[in-house]
């Protein structure tokens, strides 16, 4: 009996993934546990292993964007014919390939989606909405008369209809490039880059984001951190200390450990903090779980290990899900506006540390000062509560004795 290969759900907010590469060819014999294909999402790259043995049969091509539980292929018994994918296939098999063929030919293996007035791929519908194009005006070239993404692009490029600006706040208005020179290079965004773009835009459109900025002297913290690291033979960075401090503040101000979902406030006791890691192709946020029950040494070790796995592309789905608060250490610049991760109540952006003049006991002194930028969802967090967070952050950083005890 054929075994379905489907798009796995790699995290709470994942809705679709991209087939970046089939590792094995059509018809090859596959053993259970072998990697059959690579998947790219907005958060990570993932190698999908075979759940059973059999002959590999591809359904979706490389580059296809497939929804969670959508059909990717089959593992077949010897001599078994692949099941016929029909309009009545279960929801798990109703995935629509949205990859655009480079030669403008219809992509094979597409599956009809029930209930559509205009048969079309998700990619075609998304692009049409972005460009303000009515799909009923587009000439389809896909299998069984479906409109594919290439059809929408061709329709737009011929000028058959002018784009109507979208003003519903959910999709961007088409950018008018008339009068601009021809680009020297056009690069399709990767699945991760597309995911980040959609995630950030959605966050800005669905939250009331407000940023608070404060300069905090960190000279004493850095001095104690260096002494503690040496005596405990553990490499601890400022980021590790900031994470521990934030965990303590969040446990005392629980609104920062909540999420707004469908007009309901979800509150959590366990503090799970995501720490952003920059990658060449984007950004990923490994989550450090249960920060309050971790010692500073354990927190430092877990964070450093997660950072290394992030840079190597080896994070597991569990390691990038579940965070309710995020810390993003940008450095270089002082003030910036970090954008909330969708659903979260707050994100702390850490800027550059530099020497500045500060007033201490009516005297001017030169101290190492770091700029902290707290963005909150004003739907959840009032200004006074955000200010209280920054006040406690400043107090703990300037007097960090309790952290290094």
Tens digits of per-residue pLDDT, 316-375? Answer: 888 888 888 999 999 889 999 999 987 899 999 999 999 999 998 899 999 999 999 999
Domain boundaries, the chain: 3-93, 207-402
pLDDT digits (tens, 9 = 90+) for 182-217: 888 888 776 677 777 877 888 888 899 999 999 999
**Residue 378, pLDDT score:** 96
What does the alpha-carbon distance between residue 390 and residue 396 come to, in Å, rounded to a whole number?
10
Q: Give me the residues paired with residue 260 across strands.
A: 265
pLDDT digits (tens, 9 = 90+) for 35-84: 999 888 766 778 888 989 999 999 999 888 888 889 999 999 998 998 87
How is domain 3-93 classified at the CATH fold level? OB fold (Dihydrolipoamide Acetyltransferase, E2P) (2.40.50)
Known catalytic membership, residue 378: yes
Task: State the pTM of this model.
Answer: 0.67
- Given 29, 134, 318, 378, the catalytic residue: 378
Is the distance from CB of 39 to CB of 19 less than 8 angstroms? Answer: yes
Known catalytic membership, residue 382: yes
The better pLDDT of the pair 119, 264 is held by: 264
The better pLDDT of the pair 138, 402 is held by: 402
281 closest CA partner among 45, 98, 46, 48: 45
**Residue 263, pLDDT score:** 84
- Superfamily (CATH H level) for 207-402: Chloramphenicol acetyltransferase-like domain (3.30.559.10)
- Please, what is the angle between helix 238-252 and helix 219-232, to 10°? 110
């Amino acid at each position: 009996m054929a075994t379905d290969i489907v798009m796995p759900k790699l995290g709470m907010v994942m809705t679709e993934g991209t087939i970046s590469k089939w590792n094995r060819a059509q018809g090859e014999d596959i053993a259970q546990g072998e990697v059959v294909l690579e998947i790219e999402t907005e958060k990570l790259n993932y190698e999908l292993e075979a759940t059973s043995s059999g002959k590999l049969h591809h359904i979706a091509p490389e580059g296809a964007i497939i929804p969670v539980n959508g059909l990717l292929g089959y593992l077949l018994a010897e001599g078994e014919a692949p099941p016929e994918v029909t309009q009545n296939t279960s929801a798990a098999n109703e995935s629509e390939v949205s990859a655009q063929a480079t030669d403008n030919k219809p992509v094979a293996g597409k599956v009809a989606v029930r209930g559509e007035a205009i048969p079309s791929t998700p990619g075609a519908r998304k692009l049409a909405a972005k460009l303000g194009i009515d799909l009923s005006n587009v000439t389809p070239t896909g299998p069984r008369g479906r409109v594919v993404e290439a059809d929408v692009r061709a329709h737009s490029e011929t000028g058959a209809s002018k784009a109507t600006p979208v003003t519903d706040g959910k999709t961007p208005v088409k950018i008018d490039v008339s009068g601009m020179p021809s680009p020297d290079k056009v690069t399709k965004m990767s699945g991760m880059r597309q995911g980040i773009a959609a995630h950030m835009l959605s966050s800005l459109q669905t939250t009331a984001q407000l940023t608070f900025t404060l300069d905090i002297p960190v000279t004493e913290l850095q001095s104690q951190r260096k002494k503690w690291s040496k005596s405990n033979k553990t490499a601890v960075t400022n980021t590790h200390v900031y994470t521990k401090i934030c965990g303590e503040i969040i446990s005392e101000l629980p609104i920062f450990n909540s999420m707004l979902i469908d007009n309901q406030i979800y509150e959590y006791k366990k503090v799970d903090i995501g720490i952003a890691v920059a990658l060449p192709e984007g950004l990923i946020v490994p989550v450090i779980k249960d920060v309050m029950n971790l010692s500073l040494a354990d927190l430092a070790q877990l964070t450093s290990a997660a950072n290394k796995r992030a840079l190597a592309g080896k994070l597991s789905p569990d390691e990038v899900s579940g965070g309710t608060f995020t810390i993003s250490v940008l450095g270089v610049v002082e003030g910036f506006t970090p954008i909330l991760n969708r659903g979260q109540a707050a994100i702390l952006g850490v800027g550059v540390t530099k020497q500045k003049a500060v007033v201490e006991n009516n005297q001017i002194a030169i101290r190492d000062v770091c700029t902290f930028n707290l963005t909150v969802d004003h739907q959840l967090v009032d200004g006074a509560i955000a200010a209280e967070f920054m006040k406690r952050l400043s107090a703990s950083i300037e007097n960090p004795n309790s952290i290094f005890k």
